[in-house]
Structure 1
């Protein structure tokens, strides 16, 4: 069970959010009201982006599960501007949680999550896509950035 859970990026986001929140409690900073609202907006935007990407993948008949062989290379919808919109959504949610929770010190968890996602998930997924879709994936990478 634990081995399955650590393969889910959202479990890592939750862990990073808890650590970030705790760091934020070490050095509490009251943010201006606008940043509170910006944090809430980022949470909602991240969730919407993840749902949109998952729906596009489902419509394309491919998996949303990290590490599973994709049935199709998806390059439209949110995948037209980011090769990893679900991970981008995770990062937006994590940023939003830190801002909305006044956990300024916890914002260091956002780049930490991005580095972890690249190392644990994205590189392996991109290698798999490269093996499966060769020149098509290379062409996609040439015009679409990994994050933004």
Structure 2
């Protein structure tokens, strides 16, 4: 059952909740049409771009992307020089964009809830493993680059 505790599974669950809210409980609320579709598209595109840039760095450095494994290298280049968690940031942007595209007004609070869960379930453990593995190198990186943005 470990496959259930992976970020993409959490993301899909939150997307499903947003869809259900839009489909079954819209309560006549709306973000207001074309602007929401445009902003949603920009957020989705930005999220996918962040994820692709991060995946490229993981491949280039030949280290794991799996959240419960200890990486063999500390990536500090590319998008990782701007954010320590570009994949999770991309997930959050993707979720926000989909909520806008679904016109799921009441699902908007799912974004900070998703970020909180990802931080507690994955990021804190990953950072702890990297702190133990890379010691001073991670301490310098942590001071230089923020967790999210």
Number of residues of Structure 1 aligned to a counterpart in Structure 2: 146
1:45/1:89 contact within 8 Å kept: yes
Aligned to 1:20: 18
Range 60-69 or range 121-130, more displaced: 60-69
Give the whole-Å Cα distance in 1 for the aligned partners of 2:28 and 2:103: 7
Give the whole-Å Cα distance in 1 for the aligned partners of 2:22 and 2:80: 33
Specify every segment of 5 or more residues in structure 2 that has no aligned partner in the other structure, as ranges: none
Aligned to 2:111: 110
Aligned to 1:135: 136
1:13/1:94 contact within 8 Å kept: yes
Aligned to 1:146: 147
Give the whole-Å Cα distance in 2 for the aligned partners of 1:37 and 1:86: 22
Query: 1:35 aligns to what SS in structure 2?
Result: helix
Q: CA RMSD in A?
A: 1.1
Q: CA deviation at 1:8?
A: 1.5
Q: 1:11 aligns with which of 1, 4, 9?
A: 9
Q: CA deviation at 1:144?
A: 0.7
Query: 1:94 aligns to what SS in structure 2?
Result: helix
Q: CA deviation at 1:24?
A: 3.3
Q: CA deviation at 1:28?
A: 4.0
The answer to whether residue 55 in structure 2 is matched with residue 54 in structure 1 is yes
Aligned to 1:68: 69
Give the whole-Å Cα distance in 1 for the aligned partners of 2:28 and 2:93: 21
TM (normalized to structure 1)? 0.94
Q: CA deviation at 1:62?
A: 0.5
Aligned to 1:78: 79
Aligned to 1:88: 89
Give the whole-Å Cα distance in 2 for the aligned partners of 1:56 and 1:145: 18
Q: CA deviation at 1:22?
A: 1.9
Q: CA deviation at 1:20?
A: 1.9
